[in-house]
Structure 1
């Protein structure tokens, strides 16, 4: 089994969501939880961007001992210097520096040339290496970068001392097979990869971030950059919980992570609370409906054997149990199951009577809640007597 490193950028890329700004204390709370969760790398912030970010990176670096703490910078000497200063005293520091490599970025953003970009990569990595041993290079907009030039940029970074190569699909443009082929091309054509990790960093503009990250891993990447709840700019980043559980469920792929998965729901709730960002109910793994069943056919199956409609045991991600949600689409089996939870055992004939009354209630309400179940339970005898007339 091959380990996949989990690089969490909730506190940096995730925090770039409008309205989700975290203060230093909140970052410390979440960083402590991320370390407890078992992430390998915590990207703590962009130190040069503000005094607050600088101080957050500094304090996180001094408090976090097990996870690597990473500071972001552009391929600019002052950015790198400030990041290094913020990481002073850190047990496991990493500087994350890079530059755009796509034709679009080179032409319009930097008004530069490929050769000048390669020179900037060399200078930036070499300079970062003078401060810390662990230096990660990012090739921004790698998803739209020609593979041949991307390989030249990455080789330049390796030769200058980079320990990690980040291949971002910055705009979420790639299809999974395209992104996988890009990673495979690099794995096959770069020299000196024996001590270097290729990393994925995918955005979700087309809803493909998790799929692209998994295809990246299948094709040679050994680190996934992601966020809790998939938060991030625009449509968000790769979801940590989705990638981790995909790897865990598909052990035939031969990969594993060090994530303590029973803490996923707790961590999701903490991030949602601290950032004021509600998790959509149908969000995979951590959404409130992820283990909820309202269809009668599904409910009957889950009651008989959970695996009929659930590929993940809720306990694996920190959820107490599956939810049987009673609606007009629910069947007798679901009603009997929920009544039994209330301590109300019924015969088949009693169930027929209660089910008829249940359907009347369900047509009036979107969902049958505890008060309606209490009513059915407490009035079982009278409902059955009326039904039997």
Structure 2
């Protein structure tokens, strides 16, 4: 395993599909799974096989078409769950069973009416059941973000000893601050005797808007897998956004020292595919893939951007498959942006012309959210006629 590679575990088809209204049929799941493999993700969590006959079928069909990525099925720490997941994954060339149980006292006491020792036993047993079907077993310690670190270390050591090859440390409720999540990963790296036998994985939720920051803190502290979704889809406020962590790692490769195998040029096309298929619009200001990610409307920003794009863009739109940068004309825009747009639509004006046209432009802009080319064409045509007269 390359020490500086970060494995990308995509759970769009499982955790992402849990968003209300985002249910997919088998055909839609297969289309997205094929695209995810082309994107270069390492693991595709195809579904939760025991949850419904449809999900079982989807996992089985995805296993038939995905050849390079690992196909993963989720289960609870229940023997029947694991057996059903194994059966659904039987068609996959490379398969992983993802099983686990809640480890925080909130889950142990309120959800399971149990105790720490009993939960530890159930965790170990689940991994042993899964190992009967595959040597690629991932264990999730649900609500690890709020789990006592010393107890979490006991669980992690025990499940690795039982055969888990990846251990998922979910911040299930999105509670942790980045330094807290990073410290949790570091604690496990330093206090689990057999930690070298497994990969630690980050699975962070976005309830406080910290999913991406927490995932990056996790890999900086020693985790080597990030679990994420296209467009950050997922339960409640969503999961870590795949496009965000991939580009953070790429942009900061010199300081972080990591890489992924994701083809960044596919990020925007795949974002649109997922958005259209799941019928879930992407917020315009979404990082990397939002409609406004490469749009400039402030006069100061537009002037700097037109002189040198790097003054206000740290990513070239082409790098992530976006359609290009946009100069959006509003009442906040300046003369340089106006002159640039006039030139783009075929009008050449000098500075004095622009000074006059700018005042007319502002009158229009104050009445509209955005000034379009047809508005400018009308302004320019009227101005040229007035000058000739």
Query: Which residue of 1 is the match for residue 42 of structure 2?
Result: 40
- 1:96 pairs with 83, 93, 98, which one? 98
Q: Higher mean Cα deviation, 160-169 or 370-379?
A: 370-379
Matched, 1:249 2:257: no
The two structures have a TM-score, normalised by structure 2, of: 0.97
Alpha-carbon shift at residue 385 of structure 1 (Å) = 5.2
For residues 381 and 17 of structure 1, what CA distance do their matches in structure 2 show? 54
Contact 2:160 2:197 in 1 (8 A): no
For residues 212 and 364 of structure 1, what CA distance do their matches in structure 2 show? 43
For residues 355 and 178 of structure 2, what CA distance do their matches in structure 1 show? 50
Alpha-carbon shift at residue 230 of structure 1 (Å) = 0.5
For residues 135 and 156 of structure 1, what CA distance do their matches in structure 2 show? 14
Query: Which residue of 2 is the match for residue 23 of structure 1?
Result: 25
Contact 1:354 1:384 in 2 (8 A): no
List aligned pairs for 1:69-80, cutoff 5 A: 69-80=71-82
Query: Which residue of 2 is the match for residue 345 of structure 1?
Result: 348
For residues 69 and 234 of structure 2, what CA distance do their matches in structure 1 show? 21
Alpha-carbon shift at residue 383 of structure 1 (Å) = 4.6
Matched, 1:317 2:333: no
For residues 79 and 353 of structure 2, what CA distance do their matches in structure 1 show? 77
Contact 1:281 1:287 in 2 (8 A): yes
For residues 383 and 33 of structure 1, what CA distance do their matches in structure 2 show? 55
Matched, 1:111 2:113: yes
Contact 1:293 1:299 in 2 (8 A): yes
Alpha-carbon shift at residue 273 of structure 1 (Å) = 0.5
Contact 2:105 2:147 in 1 (8 A): yes
For residues 131 and 381 of structure 2, what CA distance do their matches in structure 1 show? 72
Change in 2 beyond 3 A, CA 1:385/1:356: farther
Query: Which residue of 1 is the match for residue 293 of structure 2?
Result: 290
List aligned pairs for 1:115-264, cutoff 5 A: 115-251=117-253, 252-264=255-267
For residues 163 and 304 of structure 1, what CA distance do their matches in structure 2 show? 51
Alpha-carbon shift at residue 203 of structure 1 (Å) = 0.5
- 2:359 pairs with 356, 363, 369, which one? 356
Query: Which residue of 1 is the match for residue 84 of structure 2?
Result: 82
After superposition, the C-alpha distances for 1:308-331 in whole angstroms (9 at most, x for unaligned) are: 111111111111211100011111
For residues 223 and 347 of structure 2, what CA distance do their matches in structure 1 show? 54
Contact 2:10 2:45 in 1 (8 A): yes
Query: Which residue of 2 is the match for residue 376 of structure 1?
Result: 379
For residues 157 and 211 of structure 1, what CA distance do their matches in structure 2 show? 27
For residues 83 and 265 of structure 1, what CA distance do their matches in structure 2 show? 32
Alpha-carbon shift at residue 192 of structure 1 (Å) = 2.5
- Secondary structure of residue in 1 paired with 2:90: coil
Alpha-carbon shift at residue 349 of structure 1 (Å) = 2.0
- Secondary structure of residue in 2 paired with 1:284: coil
Alpha-carbon shift at residue 341 of structure 1 (Å) = 1.3
After superposition, the C-alpha distances for 1:344-376 in whole angstroms (9 at most, x for unaligned) are: 222122222222221121122121012112223
Contact 1:353 1:383 in 2 (8 A): no
Unaligned runs of 5+ in 2: none
